[in-house]
Amino acid sequence: MRRAIYPGSFDPVTNGHLDIIERGCKLFDEIIIAILVHPDKQPLFTVNERREILEEVLPEIKSRDCALRVDSFQGLLIKYAVEQQADAIVRGIRAISDYEYELQMTLMNRRQEPRIETVFMMAAEAYSYVSSRLVKEVYDLGGTIEGLVPPSVEERMREKFRKG
Ligand code: PNS
């Protein structure tokens, strides 16, 4: 039984994340989608909202060959991964610019716990420029995010920005 952690802010989840989860499912028996609870960052969606959104959209993944679980964690990712008895951490890589930061994190995590591998998956071309940060910025400034996030995320964004 191979278990992976897919960690991130998921504020909000994008189609790029969902693509990584779908393809990651071919490699692992279980993926825990782990939302980072950041004590000093003001997210757009609360952890509970992000969890709800993920649980809403995960059933939309067509070919699900593995079990998917949504969870949240605080503090060190590698500690959480050990607690969850994970074999690997999954991360998506879009451009070369992601590489340096990901390499640093991977090496630091490996130094803490060499038994847990980090597995990188290349983002789908169609989403290689998509990030949660840009999605929020473009939407906030009146641009379109159609096709970049699941429709239910678009709906939640509409509500969120309407409320202000
Ligand atoms: O979606 P993101 O913001 O790119 O995810 C970044 C994440 C959650 C993977 C990273 O910030 C993280 O692992 N944070 C937990 C704190 C930690 O373990 N820091 C040391 C990393 S070597």
- Which CATH number is 17's domain given? 3.40.50.620
Whether 92 lines ligand 1, by a CB cut-off of 6 Å, is no
Gap from CA of 143 to ligand 1 centroid (Å): 28
- Cα-based distances in Å from 30 to 24, 59, 64, 82: 9, 15, 10, 15
Alpha carbons within 13 angstroms on the beta-carbon side of residue 27 total: 18
Residue 49's domain comprises 3-163
Per-residue confidence (pLDDT) for residue 62, from 0 to 100: 78
Gap from CA of 128 to ligand 1 centroid (Å): 20
For the chain, the domain total comes to: 1
Catalytic residue among 41, 62, 111, 163: 41
Verify whether residue 38 is a known catalytic residue: no
In this prediction, the residues of the chain whose per-residue pLDDT falls under 70 are 163-164
Is residue 108 within 8 A of residue 114, CB to CB? The reply is no
Verify whether residue 136 is a known catalytic residue: no
Whether 36 lines ligand 1, by a CB cut-off of 6 Å, is yes
Closest CA to 31 of 78, 91, 74, 107: 91
Please give the number of the atom of ligand 1 that sits closest to the Cα of 79.
18
